[in-house]
Amino acid sequence: MPSFSNSLVGGARYLGLFTALNIAFQLISDVSAGKIISVLGVGVSVTVLYFPVTYIISDVLTEVYGYGRARTVLWYTMFASITAGVVYQLIVVIPPAPFFQDNDAYAKVFGTVPRILLGGWLAVFLGDISNNYVLARMKLWTNGKYLWTRTIGSTIVGQGINTVVFYVVALGGVLPTDVLVSAVMVGWLVKTCVEALMTPFTYAVVRFLKKAEGVDYFDRDTDFNPFLIFENRSRRQK
């Protein structure tokens, strides 16, 4: 078996790629969340089909590079999403040229009400940071074995928090309670199932990255404060 190190000096060649992918899927979800599809007879956002990719990325980042690096990527993603959200609102309020006929379409897509924006940001942050924390802790409990238990286990927690927070903050009091509960349960189930079905892919990516980067980080000496933007690895394990 190869010997892995917790040191990331020269061992994060692919981190930028996964950061870009995470931000891309978040921004895609931000502008497409308004499209509603029917799953099991319940109306849910189309993002349930691809938003779980962000959790797969978070699992990979936490598993390979550690909670600290995954947390930094989450903060970068939040900054990008908030910046985009503010710009989207400016797009809506800037008057169009007299001859531009499609302004209503732009306003309909980008004109998200502040409550929904806030609900989305809270859901992403709380769900993702919970996912990363659970995975990092489970990696210690399992001594790095049984990857599937922590990818699925962390997703159940993270996606559950994400879905509940979004629907309660953004749509609580707007949708009837029974519809709200049904949407939460179906959304949670679909997201978790997507993650579970992608487990073989997650295994392959994790295996490749650990070998290519020479890193398999265990968060034994990690500060799990979710509000730290940049990691502090001055106390590295030997």
DSSP bridge partners of 39: 42
Q: What average pLDDT does the segment 181-187 reach?
A: 87
In this prediction, residue 236 has a pLDDT band, given cuts at 50, 70 and 90, of very low
pTM beyond 0.85: the answer is yes
User: What tokens appear for 82 in the block?
Assistant: 């908030």
SS3 content of the chain, % helix, strand, coil (to 5): 65, 5, 30
Q: What is the pLDDT of residue 110?
A: 81
Q: What average pLDDT does the segment 43-61 reach?
A: 86
One DSSP character per residue, 146-208 reads: -HHHHHHHHHHHHHHHHHHHHHHHHHBTTB-HHHHHHHHHHHHHHHHHHHHHTHHHHHHHHHH
CA separation for the pair 150, 165 (Å, rounded): 22
Q: What average pLDDT does the segment 134-138 reach?
A: 97
Residue with tokens 């990696």, as numbered in its chain: 139
Lowest-confidence region among 9-13, 54-58, 112-116: 9-13
Mean pLDDT, rounded, of the chain: 87
Q: What is the pLDDT of residue 43?
A: 75
Q: What average pLDDT does the segment 155-177 reach?
A: 86
**What is the percentage of the chain residues whose pLDDT exceeds 90?**
55
Residue 34 has pLDDT above 80, yes or no: no
Q: What average pLDDT does the segment 142-163 reach?
A: 94
Taking phi over 0 as left and psi of -120 to 50 as alpha, with beta for the rest, 144 belongs to: left
Choose which CATH entry (1.10.3470, 3.40.50, 1.10.1760, 2.60.40) describes domain 15-209.
1.10.1760
Q: What is the pLDDT of residue 9?
A: 42
Q: How far is CA 226 from CA 59, 73, 74, 126, 223, in A?
A: 16, 12, 10, 9, 9
Q: What is the pLDDT of residue 11?
A: 63
> Would you give the DSSP letter of residue 92?
H
**What is the percentage of the chain residues whose pLDDT exceeds 70?**
91
Residue 231 has pLDDT above 80, yes or no: no
Query: Mind listing the pLDDT tens digit for each residue in 79-113?
Result: 999 999 899 889 888 999 999 999 998 888 787 76
